[in-house]
C-alpha cells in the first residue's frame, strides 16, 4: 500500500488531559539513525550528511550518520525541532524536492525499506525508528526481501567477501524460497523467531548473515559489504624543513602556513567542512609517525582563516602527547629532550558538504545557548563537554545526572535546599568511594549530615553520613564522610 506523506496525529483523551501521538515521531532520544539511504534522480553531493559514504547504485547512496551524530543532534536541539526538520532543508539544497531518504540503524534495513518505497512511488522522509514506518517495515513481503538481495550480490562480489560464491548463494536462495512456500509464511517478519544461526546452518552462512541484518539493533556492519566512496584527490601539503625543528613556537607558525596552502587546494566554499586530517611527521632519525587531527564537529578551514586556531589547538595536543610518548620510549638513550622534526605532510582525509543556508537557519533562532560557539569550543578542547542537571536527593552521588548539552530543563522543583547543601562539595567525585583509616593528626571541618531513603536500609544508621573537609600536612583537601557505624570513606577531592 502507498505511504501517505503526512501522517495524521492520534489523540488519546482522558478525563483530565489529551495526549497527541505522532506516528512518524522517533520513539526515543537514543533512536538516532546510524545510516541513511538517499535516492535522487538529480545529481547532488553525496557528502551532504556525512563524510562516510557508499555508492549503492547510480541513483542511491548510503551515508553513515554515526560519524556526525553529535553535530546533528546539536542542530536539532538548537532549533527545538525534529530531525526531519533539520535534514530536510539540507537534502532539498543538494537533491531538490524529489528525493527519497530512508533512515535506519543498519544499511540493509535502509535498502529493504527503500525498495518498498520505490515500488510505491514514495518520496520524502522515512525513519524506521518511527512507529508507523516500523509497522510497515515488519510487513514487507518476501519479494521485497529477495529483490534487494539481487542488488546485494553484485556488491558482495565487488567486496570480495570471504566465503561468498554466487552460484552457491543462488542455490541456497532457491532452497529458501521453496521452504517458505512449503510452510506458507507470508513475510520475513512472520518468521522473526527464527535464529540467524539456525538459518545459516540450513541455508548457508551468508543467508544467515542477511537474516541477522533484518532486525539488528546494532550499528555494526556485521560483514555488510561497505565499499567507501573516495572523495577524489585529498588536499595535501608537504613541508621539508631546511633544518631540524623541535620548538612548538616554530612548528605552530609553519603549520599555519600549511593550513593556508591546504585552503588554496580546494574551492573556497563556506559549505566545505573537514572531519579529519592526517599529519605524517618525519623525525630527525627518518622515522615516520602518523597522527590524526580529528574534530568533534565539522570544521571549516576557510572560516578559521588566517589563524586556524581550532586546527592549531588540535595539533598542539597531538604534539604534546607524541613528545611525551617518545621521551618515555627513549628515556634510556642519549637523545634530545624534544625530538626534532625534519619534515611533515598534512592531508585532509574526510570532508562533508554543509550548505551555507544551514548556518543562516540556525543563526535566526533566538536562544540563550550559542550552539555555534559551543561547537567551536568543543573542537578546540582535548576533552568533551559534560552537562549535568540537579536531582532532588541528599545523597551527593544521586543529586545530579548527566544530560546532553541543550537538553530541555526538567519540570521545576524547589531546589534551594538541594543546591544549598551542595555549595561545600567538590567538583571531582570518585566513581567508587574509598575506605580510609580514622583520620588523626589532620585538620577536618564539618560540612553537613545527610540521610536518604533510610526506610529502605536494614540498618537505618547506615544511611546517615557526616561529611567533612579533610586537609593533610601539605594543605591538600579531600572530601570525606563518616557513616553511622563510625567507618570513614573518601568520596572526592578539592582542587
Summarised one tens digit per residue, pLDDT across range 404-443 is 665 655 555 555 566 666 677 887 888 888 999 988 888 8
Question: What is the tens place of the pLDDT at every residue in 229-260?
Answer: 887 788 899 999 988 888 899 999 999 999 99
Mean pLDDT lowest among 32-36, 174-178, 367-371:
367-371
Q: Which three cell numbers stand for residue 38?
A: 538517499
**Segment 267-277 mean pLDDT:** 78
Tell me, what's the pLDDT at 94? 87
Quick one: pLDDT at residue 256? 93
Which CA distances in Å does 105 have to 33, 63, 477, 484? 5, 11, 48, 50
Phi, psi of 466 (to 5 degrees): -105, 115
More confident residue, 493 or 233: 493
Task: Say whether pLDDT at 311 is over 80.
Answer: yes
pLDDT tier for residue 5 given thresholds of 50, 70 and 90: very low
* Cα(161)–Cα(155) distance, integer angstroms: 9
> Is 168's pLDDT higher than 90?
yes
Mean pLDDT computed over 299-325 = 88
pLDDT at position 10? 42
C-alpha cell at 438: 580514622
Lowest mean pLDDT: which of 238-242, 358-362, 383-387, 486-490?
A: 358-362
Helix 205-213 vs helix 107-119: crossing angle, to nearest 10: 80
Give the count of beta carbons closer than 10 Å to the beta carbon of residue 462.
14
Mean pLDDT of 155-168: 91
pLDDT band at 269 (very low <50, low <70, confident <90, very high): low
Instruction: Specify the pLDDT at position 43.
Output: 81
Cβ contact 273:352 at 8 Å: yes
Task: Tell me the domains of the chain and their CATH numbers.
Answer: 10-137 (no CATH), 145-213 (no CATH), 236-364 (3.30.1490.100), 389-493 (no CATH)
In whole angstroms, what is the distance from residue 402 CA to residue 404 CA? 7
Given a cut of 50, is residue 394 above it in pLDDT?
A: yes
φ/ψ region of 254 (left if φ > 0, alpha if ψ in -120 to 50, else beta) reads alpha
Q: How confident is the model over 337-360, as pLDDT tens digits?
A: 667 899 999 999 888 887 765 655
Higher pLDDT, 493 or 329: 493
Q: What's residue 19's pLDDT?
A: 43
The pLDDT mean for the chain works out to 81
For residue 421 the three cell numbers come to 547543601
What's residue 21's pLDDT?
44
Which pLDDT does position 363 carry in this prediction? 44
Is the pLDDT assigned to residue 284 strictly greater than 50?
yes
Neighbours of 127 (CB within 10 A): 25
Is pLDDT at 129 greater than 70 in this prediction?
yes
Q: What is the pLDDT of residue 131?
A: 87
Partners of 428 in the beta sheet?
493
Q: How high is the pLDDT of residue 72?
A: 85
Amino acid at each position: 500500500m502507498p505511504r501517505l506523506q503526512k501522517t495524521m496525529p492520534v489523540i488519546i483523551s482522558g478525563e483530565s488531559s489529551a495526549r497527541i501521538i505522532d506516528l512518524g515521531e522517533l520513539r526515543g532520544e537514543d533512536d538516532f539513525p546510524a545510516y541513511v539511504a538517499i535516492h535522487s534522480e538529480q545529481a547532488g553531493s553525496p557528502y551532504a550528511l556525512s563524510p562516510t559514504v557508499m555508492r549503492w547504485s547510480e541513483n542511491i547512496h548510503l551515508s553513515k550518520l554515526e560519524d556526525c551524530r553529535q553535530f546533528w543532534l546539536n542542530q536539532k536541539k538548537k532549533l527545538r525541532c525534529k530531525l526531519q526538520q533539520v535534514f530536510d532543508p539540507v537534502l532539498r539544497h543538494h537533491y531538490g524536492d524529489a528525493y527519497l531518504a530512508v533512515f535506519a540503524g543498519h544499511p540493509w534495513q535502509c535498502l529493504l525499506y527503500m525498495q518498498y518505497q520505490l515500488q510505491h512511488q514514495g518520496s520524502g522522509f522515512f525513519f524506521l525508528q518511527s512507529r508507523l514506518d516500523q509497522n510497515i517495515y515488519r510487513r514487507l513481503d518476501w519479494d521485497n526481501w529477495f529483490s534487494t538481495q539481487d542488488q546485494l550480490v553484485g556488491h558482495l562480489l565487488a567486496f570480495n567477501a570471504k566465503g561468498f560464491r554466487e552460484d552457491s548463494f543462488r542455490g541456497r536462495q532457491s532452497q529458501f524460497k521453496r521452504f517458505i512456500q512449503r510452510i506458507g509464511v507470508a513475510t520475513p517478519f512472520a518468521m522473526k523467531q527464527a535464529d540467524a544461526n539456525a538459518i545459516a546452518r540450513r541455508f548457508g552462512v551468508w543467508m544467515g548473515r542477511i537474516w541477522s541484518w533484518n532486525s539488528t539493533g546494532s550499528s555494526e556492519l556485521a560483514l555488510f559489504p561497505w565499499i567507501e566512496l573516495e572523495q577524489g584527490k585529498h588536499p595535501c601539503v608537504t613541508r621539508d624543513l631546511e633544518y631540524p625543528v623541535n620548538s612548538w613556537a616554530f612548528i605552530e607558525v609553519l603549520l599555519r602556513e600549511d593550513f593556508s596552502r591546504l585552503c588554496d587546494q580546494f574551492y573556497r566554499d563556506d559549505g566545505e567542512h573537514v572531519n579529519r586530517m592526517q599529519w605524517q611527521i618525519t623525525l630527525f632519525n627518518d622515522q615516520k609517525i602518523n597522527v590524526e587531527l580529528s574534530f568533534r564537529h565539522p570544521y571549516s578551514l576557510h572560516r578559521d582563516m588566517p589563524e586556524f586556531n581550532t586546527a592549531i589547538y588540535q595539533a598542539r595536543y597531538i604534539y604534546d602527547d607524541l613528545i611525551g610518548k617518545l621521551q618515555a620510549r627513549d628515556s634510556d638513550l642519549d637523545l634530545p629532550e624534544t625530538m626534532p622534526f625534519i619534515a611533515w605532510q598534512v592531508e585532509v582525509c574526510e570532508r562533508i558538504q554543509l550548505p551555507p543556508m544551514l548556518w543562516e537557519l540556525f543563526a535566526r533562532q533566538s536562544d540563550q545557548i550559542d550552539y555555534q560557539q559551543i561547537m567551536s569550543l568543543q573542537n578546540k578542547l582535548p576533552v568533551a563537554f559534560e552537562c549535568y542537571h540537579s536531582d532532588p536527593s541528599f545523597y551527593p552521588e544521586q543529586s545530579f545526572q548527566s544530560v546532553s548539552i541543550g537538553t530541555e530543563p526538567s519540570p521545576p522543583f524547589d531546589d534551594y535546599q538541594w543546591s544549598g547543601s551542595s555549595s561545600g562539595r567538590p567538583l571531582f567525585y570518585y566513581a567508587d568511594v574509598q575506605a580510609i583509616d580514622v583520620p588523626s593528626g589532620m585538620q577536618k571541618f564539618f560540612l553537613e549530615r545527610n540521610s536518604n531513603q533510610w526506610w529502605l536500609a536494614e540498618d537505618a544508621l547506615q544511611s546517615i553520613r557526616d561529611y567533612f573537609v579533610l586537609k593533610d600536612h601539605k594543605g591538600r583537601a579531600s572530601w570525606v564522610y563518616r557513616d553511622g557505624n563510625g567507618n570513614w570513606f573518601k568520596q572526592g577531592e578539592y582542587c
